[in-house]
Amino acid sequence: MTAPGRLSWTDVRDRIRARILNRTYAPGDRLPRDEDLALELGCARATVHRAMQELSQSGLIERKRKGGTHVRAHPVTRATFDIPITRREVEQRGSRYAYQLVSRQLEVPPSPVMARFGIHQSGPMLHVKAVHLADNRPYIYEDRWIDTGSAPEILNIDLTTQSANEWLVLNKPYSRVDVRFHAIKAAGEIARQLAVATGEALLIIERTTWIGDQPITTVQSATAPGYQLISQG
Amino acid sequence: MTAPGRLSWTDVRDRIRARILNRTYAPGDRLPRDEDLALELGCARATVHRAMQELSQSGLIERKRKGGTHVRAHPVTRATFDIPITRREVEQRGSRYAYQLVSRQLEVPPSPVMARFGIHQSGPMLHVKAVHLADNRPYIYEDRWIDTGSAPEILNIDLTTQSANEWLVLNKPYSRVDVRFHAIKAAGEIARQLAVATGEALLIIERTTWIGDQPITTVQSATAPGYQLISQG
DNA sequence: GAAATTAATATGTAGATACTTATTTTTGTC
DNA sequence: GACAAAAATAAGTATCTACATATTAATTTC
């Protein structure tokens, strides 16, 4: 990676992490200044800074100007998840993807939907329900609301051939997203569309996006039984 | 933030992100070289580099030596979750935390548990079941296996007063973690310990940690009905 | 023409220097 | 002692320079 004997920032990161792991620096402790660590390890302050940045991002330490660097007193497990376009997810599993529009209509969203956007009133939004299939079996059922103010073009898209999921992800990038997971019992339309028994436990992925302060879309994706979300390395 | 008229790396990041959002650089497109962008924007290459690093980490672009920088062709929604120590999670919700050990014994783990560690055989591990309570109501039921090879001290810890969750997080930092979410129907011991009806839908958080290649612990946490996991930032 | 070598190229890394900014600590004043 | 102003401090940022490294493209060799 680097000239032998010279420390790269990953080396520095690993060394400092090791010290945190072996409690040379225990939770809550203050670490030496970047400059002193640089001196001790024999590298530039910039190299220590780069390493610290990484450790900070991974949730292991906290840094403050003048306050210095501290090992997080209350460690957390930080996990990152990538949620791809459903079509791609299915295809990458090696399955055949298909998609079916269930319904599409302009409606004033009910208050739980407005709450997800953080608004209290709203004009009509486009309400779209659809099923994604993997090898002809239901994979995800999505119930989506789209703000036609921020995405008016969606009204002219033929949603029987292209999923709103795909169109939005490719054409309406967001500046903020809220993701949450929970579990529900299959019932009513969800059970029917996923072709599962009422009472089946389903993982729900709820995503809401904004561009600036403007709502774009909120979607509740009910996954087929057995669906797992797996963190990225 | 910076001398007026001078671009900080966050400015550069925001400008490039804006260009990606407004499709100046569309999915799959190659971006100009860092050096050219630096020239165009009037800043140093290092500043562009710092901005690019951030955009790369957030999943918006992909960079390769010589290959250059490309807008991700298949955008993903990237979400980060912090999973704190359960005690702290409960306390931060303003509830009173309590903890109860259900069972503790040395056993050879069944193959699904070994599979989570990626191993095919194993000696006995410490198998711990426990309930975390919030305001005296079951909050999370955890079923945990601990490798006594990498964490022998756990055998001397009194797990009736301190949860394995807390002890491990504070004393056995890991170098790798795998996190996954899915949903199950409450049944048997899980339903009993969470005091919910059989068939209730529960969100399951499964975490496995290693130090180097050495397994530390794997835990399946069954959350009480209504539990939600919410993404950070 | 295929395979292997060489050159070109864009990002990655390390270091030095100078300055900025948030925050704490100290000092001075009432 | 309380409060405000000033000094000190540690991380953050920006720039320049030099070199490393991975990949692709071009060229040579057989």
Summarised one tens digit per residue, pLDDT across range A205-217 is 999 999 888 999 9
Partner-chain contact B83 A84, CB within 8 Å: no
* Residue A31: closest CA among A74, A2, A58, A60: A60
Q: Is the pLDDT of residue A104 over 50?
A: yes
User: Which of B78, B82, B201 lies nearest to residue A76, judging by beta carbons?
Assistant: B82
Instruction: Classify each residue of A133-144 as buried b or exposed e, where b means 16 or more C-beta atoms within 10 Å of its C-beta.
Output: bbeeebbbbbbb
Tokens 């992925």 found at = A205
The per-residue pLDDT for B5 is: 57
Nucleotides in chain D with any atom closer than 7 Å to protein CB: 8-17, 19-24
Six token digits for residue B211: 């130090």
Question: Residue B213: its pLDDT value, please?
Answer: 87
pLDDT in tens, A131-156: 999 999 999 999 999 999 999 999 99
Q: What is the pLDDT of residue B173?
A: 79
- The dihedrals phi and psi of A35, each to the nearest 5 degrees, come to -65, -40
Give the rounded percent of residues in chain A with a pLDDT score beyond 90. 86
Q: What are the pLDDT digits (tens) for A7-17?
A: 899 999 999 99
Cβ-based contacts of A57 with chain B (< 8 Å): 57
Q: How many helices (H) and strands (E) does chain B have?
A: 7, 10
pLDDT for B1 beyond 70: no
Q: Is B180 on the interface with A (CB under 8 A)?
A: yes
pLDDT band at B22 (very low <50, low <70, confident <90, very high): confident
**pLDDT tens-digit map of B33-74:** 999 999 999 999 999 999 999 999 999 999 999 999 999 988
Chain segment B115-140, per-residue pLDDT in tens:
999 999 999 999 999 999 999 999 99
Residues of chain B in contact with residue A112, where contact means CB-CB under 8 angstroms, are none
A66 touches strand C (CB under 7 A): yes
For the segment A189-201, the average pLDDT, to the nearest whole number, is 97
Confidence of residue B175 (pLDDT cuts 50, 70, 90): confident
pLDDT number for residue B162: 92
CA of B32 to C1' of C9 (A): 13
pLDDT band of residue A171 (cuts 50, 70, 90) is confident
State yes or no: pLDDT of A2 exceeds 90. no
DSSP A105-128: EEEPPPHHHHHHHT-S----EEEE
Q: Identify the pLDDT of residue A5.
A: 58
For residue A31, say whether its CB is under 7 Å from any atom of strand D: yes
B175 to chain A, any CB pair closer than 8 A? The answer is yes
| C-beta atoms surrounding A50 within 10 Å | 18
Q: Does A6 score more than 90 pLDDT?
A: no
Mean pLDDT of chain B: 93
Whether the CB-CB separation of B131 and B141 falls below 8 Å is answered with: yes
pLDDT at position B2? 47
CB distance from B93 to chain A under 8 Å? no
Q: What is the mean pLDDT of residues A190-207?
A: 97
B197-232 per-position pLDDT tens digit: 999 999 999 999 998 889 999 999 999 999 999 998
- What pLDDT was estimated at residue A4? 52
Considering only CB atoms, B177 lies closest to which of A79, A82, A223, namely: A79
Question: What residues of chain B, 114 to 173, have a C-beta less than 8 Å from chain A?
Answer: 169-170, 173
Encode burial over B112-129: b for 16+ CB neighbours within 10 A, e otherwise.
ebbebbeeeebeebbbbb
Domain ranges, ordered by start, for chain B: 9-71, 86-223
d(CA A165, CA B145): 39
What is the per-residue DSSP string for B59-88? TSEEEETTTEEEE-SS-EEEEEEEEE-HHH
**Cα–Cα dist B70/B119, whole Å:** 38
In this model, does residue A32 exceed pLDDT 90? Answer: yes
Q: Is residue A160 very low, low, confident or very high in pLDDT (cuts 50, 70, 90)?
A: very high
Residues 6+ apart with CB under 8 A from A231: A79, A80, A81, B177, B178, B179, B180
Give the pLDDT mean for A13-24: 90
Please tell me whether residue A48 adopts helix, strand or coil conformation.
Answer: helix
Average pLDDT (A210-227) is 94
- Ranked by mean pLDDT, the top range of A24-28, A166-170, B1-5 is A24-28
- Residue A233 confidence class, pLDDT cut points 50, 70, 90: confident
pLDDT of residue B111 exceeding 50, the answer is yes
User: Which CATH number applies to A86-223?
Assistant: 3.40.1410.10
Return the CATH fold of B9-71.
Answer: Arc Repressor Mutant, subunit A (1.10.10)
Q: What span, in angstroms and rounded, lies between the C-alpha atoms of A31 and A70?
A: 6
- Which chain A residue lies closest to B82 (C-alpha atoms)? A78
* Mean pLDDT, range B149-171, rounded to an integer: 92
Which of B77, B178, B199 comes nearest A83 by C-beta? B77
Q: Is B144's pLDDT higher than 60?
A: yes
Residue A1 has pLDDT above 60, yes or no: no
Residue A47, token pair as written in the block = 């190299």
